[in-house]
Structure 1
Amino acid sequence: MEVKRRKGKGEWEASSHRKEEQRKSKSISLGRCKLCLLVTLVSVLLSLVLIAILPTPIDPVIIDLGGIKSKSFGGNAYLREAIRLFDGEIKGPEGFAIDGDGNMYTGLHDGRIVLFNDTHMTTVMRMGPPPYDNCGKLTSESHCGRVLGLEISQSDPYLLYICDCYHGIQTLHLKTGHREVLVNTTATYPGVPPIKFSNDMVVLKNGSVFFTDSSYKFARNELLMEMYEGRPNGKLLHYNPTDGTVSVAIGELHFANGVCASKDESFLIISETSRSRILKYHLKGPKTGQTEIFMNELPGVPDNISPSSKPGGGFWIGFALLRNEALEVLGHFPAIRNVFVKLRLTRLIAESLPRNGLIMECDESGTVIRELYDMGGVKIPSVSEVLDLNGVLYLGSYDGTYIGKLDFSNK
């Protein structure tokens, strides 16, 4: 039979002491938890206050792109049939031109204009003055230059027109080397808001130049600020070669980008990149000077526009990226975009977006003829411009490290 021993006085005191220590320990732990919670709450509140008082360069608005109109959204992989020229040797071949001898030209991210064929590339000129040591970096673009649009004169097949987003509109005669500034972005033109981001141009038969200025507020090295703000800060400008004047053709455009003329030069079409649509601007007829929607609710954000080689005319549209759910949601919450800008998260977010290639061909009425995709961006993740040489397509990119080439002549 087991006999329970009664605790002595010392044992009772020890037990009581242990319980007191446990109670104190729990009390200390609870106090620490409360302190941690308080510190966390104060930190969150301080962070919110700091975010609220941090300055921001943007005044964002709601961006509603509407639905998506597409013949076959992501339904083919034709762009994956392209080959990459100069892969890893260059960066940012945005726009193209071809001279009277069939030589092709493009502008690169380091301010160079180069002549190229399928196997060789030669530097023709640099936009900015020396030194060139840091050219190719975003921080040095304003010095080195960044060519986004190129055109050959219709009256002289060796006169190259250049649209540089920092240095304005210039010409270079490819035979004589003579260079001339037509539009200086640092100059003041009566009735014209500041030109901070000259983007693309079209040169008509009479020498008139229509060019886009994406923003009067942000330069190209602040491109994401313009996209995040979402306001109509852009414009279409007209350069008159007779007297050298510059005037506003269309104001209050949402990231004015690519521009191209119809075959008979009766109208222009202009990309509004941050609204996923293209506008039509009448140059002739009863609607001269009027603007209307040419295409809207596009499946991506349109970049440059170039002529199709089809006999009846038409256009190729390059797309910087396709629309996606993240962008759609972000567009409806300007306050969140503001926070991202304050916390300097814009570039990180941009780099995390899915890259999907798309080019679209349409006729002069805006009817889509075909869409060529590379979903997942396996070969061609983004296209800025298409150079159509009788169905052989050269593909530019604002940040790609190659020139794409796709033979679509038999399709």
Structure 2
Amino acid sequence: MSETNVRKRRGRENDDDSNLKNETLEGHLQDSPSNSSFIMTALLTVVIFTLVCVNGYYNSPIKAVEIEGLVKVNLEGVFVVNQKLSKGKKLPLPSPESIAEGGDGKLYTGLADGRVVCIHPSNDGEIGAGKVENITTGVIEGAVNTSDAWGHGRPLGVRLRNQSLYVIDAIYGFYVIDLPTKSLKILIEPDDVTPPMKFPDDFDITADGRTVYITDVSPKFAMPQLTYIGYEGTCTSRLIKYDMLTQKLDVVKDGLCFGNGVQLIDDESMVIVPETTRYRVNWIDTKTGEIKHVLHLPVMPDNIRKNNRGTYWIAGKTQLTWLFEFVAKYPVFRQTVAGLFSPDILMTIAEDKHGMLFEVNSAGEVIQTLHDPEGQLTHGLSQGTELSDGRIALGTFNGNFLSFSNTEWSL
């Protein structure tokens, strides 16, 4: 090959290399705006997200603390899953939280719209299958209230003594209804206690009718903001004693973590009170306020009611999952979330369809557990009231029906 040809060939190679470099450079120049745009978008997203979270944290309605003392209870042994609470009937009603049965087969319950109602037996005698009669309208004109967000009351715990129906109302306090006349008398207004009750929840009355034990879930948040109590994690609930004769009010026990249901044991030496957000139930000495026994459960416990066999039904829902255990350790996360979402959305996040009903004795030993794993019969299970026909009436704090289990639960 001649020297001239070699030079020409080398020249062409150099030109090709130069063209390739130019094309690569042009490609980089063309890609640079796209890459820069992506980076800027990502940075802007991170900045906006951070600002939103910071705003949520500092404007949150709660001051969250670490939730301690949680004990994981596995679904085994006496807690093993079954279907005993999955079959029965439903009666459409707005969130009947607590149920009491009269000697004539009538049922009494309080509803989410503020009414207290009587459910008559059917013409053939079936309990809970007859007409629904209004006992109250749901509004007590001129009464002191814990919140006017709903414009009506929210009756929770109910108990029947002869012809008197006693009601704890999260909005209006504690009152009694004379059933023959339907006249209502307020016994305790929310501001009769210091500090005032914001969320009166449940109660029980001693056999002589003189002393009432009441739980106040929070002195800070009323029932419309109940999810804030759980997300905050503070322990500010109180067990309060009320003397019906002297009208004196005393705090038996404070520092409870979402103190909920109330049930005296037979000799009235102790009162059973769940701490809902700690997944445990306490046996509290009625004289000293000392916790004598603690029962840990796999779900959040709610109301407690005695049955005719001398044992007690404790209702519960929302299992202790790894996610709850995780967020319990990080109050910053819970405070931020509570500042970004409404109480209704927060409630949806925390919901679990698996309902459980625990039968326990006075010593706090679990006898059996009834399950509704798929929520076929229950939703937001709040109370189990064993009826005279052998079925169990199942209350709910946010479902749209009153449920009745079949009698097969006892098999």
With the shorter chain as reference, the TM-score category is 0.7 to 0.9
- 1:97 and 1:405 map into 2 onto residues whose CA distance is 13
**Secondary structure at the residue paired with 2:85?**
helix
Amino acid at match of 1:397: T
| Structure 1 residue 40 displacement after superposition | 2.0
- 2:196 and 2:148 map into 1 onto residues whose CA distance is 21
| Structure 1 residue 308 displacement after superposition | 2.0
Question: Are residues 386 and 202 of structure 1, via their aligned partners in 2, closer, same or farther at CA, if it must alter by over 3 Å?
Answer: same
TM-score for the superposition, normalised by structure 2: 0.84
Amino acid at match of 1:56: S
Amino acid at match of 1:119: A
**Secondary structure at the residue paired with 1:218?**
coil
Match of 1:265 among 258, 263, 268: 268
| Structure 1 residue 342 displacement after superposition | 2.0
- 2:201 and 2:346 map into 1 onto residues whose CA distance is 23
Map of 2:163 onto structure 1: 158
Matches within 5 A, 1:3-402: 20=22, 23-53=25-55, 54-64=58-68, 65-68=70-73, 71-81=77-87, 83-86=88-91, 89-116=92-119, 117=121, 118-120=128-130, 121-129=132-140, 142-153=150-161, 157-185=162-190, 187-189=191-193, 192-204=194-206, 205-283=208-286, 288-310=287-309, 313-344=310-341, 347-348=344-345, 350-352=347-349, 353-390=351-388, 391-402=390-401
- 2:245 and 2:304 map into 1 onto residues whose CA distance is 26
- 1:128 and 1:42 map into 2 onto residues whose CA distance is 50
Question: Are residues 249 and 44 of structure 1, via their aligned partners in 2, closer, same or farther at CA, if it must alter by over 3 Å?
Answer: same
- 1:142 and 1:347 map into 2 onto residues whose CA distance is 14
Map of 1:3 onto structure 2: none
Question: Are residues 258 and 18 of structure 1, via their aligned partners in 2, closer, same or farther at CA, if it must alter by over 3 Å?
Answer: same
Amino acid at match of 1:58: I
| Structure 1 residue 114 displacement after superposition | 1.0
- 1:376 and 1:18 map into 2 onto residues whose CA distance is 66
Map of 2:4 onto structure 1: none
| Structure 1 residue 282 displacement after superposition | 1.9
- 1:317 and 1:300 map into 2 onto residues whose CA distance is 11
- 1:410 and 1:336 map into 2 onto residues whose CA distance is 43
- 2:292 and 2:402 map into 1 onto residues whose CA distance is 31
Q: Tell me, yes or no, if the aligned pair for 2:98 and 2:395 is still in contact at 8 Å.
A: yes
Q: Using the TM superposition, name which of 111-120 and 15-24 deviates more.
A: 15-24
Amino acid at match of 1:79: L
Amino acid at match of 1:55: N
- 1:370 and 1:271 map into 2 onto residues whose CA distance is 18
- 2:304 and 2:155 map into 1 onto residues whose CA distance is 16
- 1:40 and 1:360 map into 2 onto residues whose CA distance is 51
Q: Tell me, yes or no, if the aligned pair for 2:60 and 2:340 is still in contact at 8 Å.
A: no
Q: Tell me, yes or no, if the aligned pair for 2:66 and 2:331 is still in contact at 8 Å.
A: yes
- 1:46 and 1:383 map into 2 onto residues whose CA distance is 40
| Structure 1 residue 28 displacement after superposition | 3.9
Q: Tell me, yes or no, if the aligned pair for 2:65 and 2:232 is still in contact at 8 Å.
A: yes
- 1:346 and 1:168 map into 2 onto residues whose CA distance is 22
Q: Tell me, yes or no, if the aligned pair for 1:92 and 1:109 is still in contact at 8 Å.
A: yes
Q: Using the TM superposition, name which of 256-265 and 321-330 deviates more.
A: 321-330
Q: How many residues align?
A: 384
**Secondary structure at the residue paired with 1:148?**
strand
Q: Tell me, yes or no, if the aligned pair for 2:379 and 2:398 is still in contact at 8 Å.
A: no
- Counting aligned pairs with the same residue, the percent is 26
Q: Give the superposed CA RMSD.
A: 2.9
| Structure 1 residue 119 displacement after superposition | 1.6
- 2:297 and 2:354 map into 1 onto residues whose CA distance is 14
**Gap runs ≥5 in structure 1:** 1-5, 131-138
| Structure 1 residue 290 displacement after superposition | 3.2
Question: Are residues 141 and 342 of structure 1, via their aligned partners in 2, closer, same or farther at CA, if it must alter by over 3 Å?
Answer: closer
CA displacement 1:349-381 (0-9 Å, x = unmatched): 542543101000001001111100011223324
Question: Are residues 346 and 167 of structure 1, via their aligned partners in 2, closer, same or farther at CA, if it must alter by over 3 Å?
Answer: closer
| Structure 1 residue 110 displacement after superposition | 0.6
Amino acid at match of 1:169: F
**Secondary structure at the residue paired with 2:181?**
coil
| Structure 1 residue 279 displacement after superposition | 1.2
Question: Are residues 68 and 402 of structure 1, via their aligned partners in 2, closer, same or farther at CA, if it must alter by over 3 Å?
Answer: same
| Structure 1 residue 27 displacement after superposition | 1.9
- 1:267 and 1:243 map into 2 onto residues whose CA distance is 22
Map of 1:135 onto structure 2: none
TM-score for the superposition, normalised by structure 1: 0.84
Amino acid at match of 1:77: Q
Q: Tell me, yes or no, if the aligned pair for 1:321 and 1:358 is still in contact at 8 Å.
A: no
Question: Are residues 34 and 228 of structure 1, via their aligned partners in 2, closer, same or farther at CA, if it must alter by over 3 Å?
Answer: same
Map of 1:134 onto structure 2: none
CA displacement 1:389-410 (0-9 Å, x = unmatched): 2432111111122222122585
| Structure 1 residue 256 displacement after superposition | 0.8
Question: Are residues 177 and 380 of structure 1, via their aligned partners in 2, closer, same or farther at CA, if it must alter by over 3 Å?
Answer: closer
- 2:380 and 2:257 map into 1 onto residues whose CA distance is 21
- 2:268 and 2:243 map into 1 onto residues whose CA distance is 16
